[in-house]
Structure 1
Amino acid sequence: MPDAHSLLLFVAAGLLLNLTPGPDVLYIVSHSLRSGARAGILAGFGITAGCFVHIIAAALGLSALMAASSTAFTVLKWVGAAYLLWVGVRMLFSRPSGAAPALAAAGPANAKSVFLGGFWTNALNPKVALFFLAFVPQFIAPGTDDKALAFFLLGVLFNFNAIFVNVAWALAAGWTARRVGLVQRGMHWLQRGAGALFVGFGLRLALSDSPLAPPATH
């Protein structure tokens, strides 16, 4: 596991990244605006459940990858770095959207469908799996014996923190239903800040040695 400083950085980065707009946030906010904060919170729980699919799969896959080939991990590291840089640059140069999209009128949300919709929105997004493989390993100490377990625990911590962010999005959406224009402007600048963070992590991953490789012996 990382030291206290690295763990705090991991938590802070995770919270900021969870605050940024994306498919998950859009799903939560739209349901909260259309059917109330409770529907948004339920959507967030579904997304959290879907995220566990990626955490478990990435932890097991990373362990198998490290056991099979260090070259394969190097390739994955570069792919992950390229992905983080691409996402970061895209966020930095994104343009604010125009008028707010109209929200369709909806009656009381069906709890099961809202939860499952959130689950599949996250579980079927391959970019989430790639994100975990690119982001989490940077916070695993090189000498960690059980890297798969460390990956899983960090993933659980990331997902646990995301619950509070998802609930906050749902509550905020309910409160600001009549201030959509203001929310959009705030989300745009938040997106730029997160873009800079993505670029930084991408460069860090690309320029560093494999964080999961055993320490070199002399």
Structure 2
Amino acid sequence: MFVEFLAAAGVLGVLTVVPGPDMAVVTKRAVAWGWRDGLRTVGGIACGLLVWGALTVLGLAAVLAASATAYTVVKLAGAAYLLFLGVQSLLQSRRHRAAAPVVAGGAATKGNPWRTGLVSNVFNPKIAVFYTGLLPTLAPSGMSPHAGMALLVLLHAVLTLLWLGGYVMVLAKARAFFERPAVRTAMDRVTGVVLLGFGVRVAASQP
């Protein structure tokens, strides 16, 4: 069982580090509003994974993955949210001034970073497909299916916290660089385009 768990951890680790919408959202928040905001966004994303995990254990995620209508509703909502964030980032790059919006200690934020992370993750239907399609095959055979999947969901959330949290701290180390007006404007534009791209990709995705 331990070997199976290590193999599952390896698969989840690879899936965690692959860049996706979550990393784009974290980049946008951390660069624009500071590392505290970025970490709160990561916390929201991890909570989104726990929501999907609970739905998977209850069997509701399987219904979503099997229902074309439900899948379409969720994916369009998620795509619309990513497009909104992308447009917001592009508009922010146009409004950018020499004074950075991050204040000492990261006290000032725009919107709720935890909610941003949660919503962007919960409205990603690909997670439902992954959790219902692949996760059961990774669950250790020595445990009940529900317990095994619950354990792997917790592991995935922890790996996400560690990976994206570490990524946020790397961005924080380069804070002086990212606070330069030209760099901030460029990052806003890049993350905006990336978020728009992910929004279109999610909208065009199939179960």
What is the TM-score normalised by the length of structure 2?
0.60
CA contact (8 A) 1:28 1:170 kept: yes
Deviation at 1:112, TM superposition (A): 6.3
Range with bigger deviation, 4-13 or 18-27:
4-13
Once the two structures are TM-superposed, the CA of residue 175 in structure 1 deviates from its matched residue by: 3.0
* Aligned mates of 1:37, 1:103 — CA distance in 2: 18
Q: Deviations over 1:98-151 (max 9, x none)?
A: xxx89734624538611101110001111111111222112224564x312221
Residue 107 of structure 1 aligns with an amino acid whose one-letter code is: P
Unaligned runs of 5+ in 1: 66-71, 77-100, 185-218
**Which ranges in structure 2 are unaligned for 5 or more consecutive residues?**
67-89, 103-107, 191-207
Structure (1 or 2) with the greater helix fraction: 2
Kept in 2: contact 1:33–1:173 (CA 8 A): yes
The match for 1:5 among 3, 6, 10 is 3
Amino acid at match of 1:18: T
In the comparison of the two structures, how many residue pairs are matched? 147
The aligned counterpart of 1:107 is 101
When residues 157 and 128 of structure 1 are mapped into structure 2, their CA distance, relative to the original with a 3 A threshold, is same
Counterpart-to-counterpart distance in 1, 2:154 and 2:11? 15
Aligned counterpart, 2:73: none
Quick one: which of 30, 33, 50 aligns to 2:31? Answer: 33
| SS in structure 2 of the partner of residue 107 of structure 1 | coil
2:19 counterpart residue number: 21
Cα distance in structure 1, aligned partners of 2:92 and 2:16: 23
Q: 1:50 aligns with which of 34, 48, 51?
A: 48
In 1, the alpha carbon distance for the partners of 2:15 and 2:92 equals 25
Partner of 1:68: none
> What residue in structure 1 maps to residue 132 of structure 2?
133
Distance 1:127 1:6 in 2: 24
Give, in whole Å, the separation in 2 of the partners of 1:43 and 1:125: 15
What pairs up with 1:176-191 in 2 under 5 angstroms? 176=174, 178=177
Task: Look up the match of 1:122.
Answer: 121
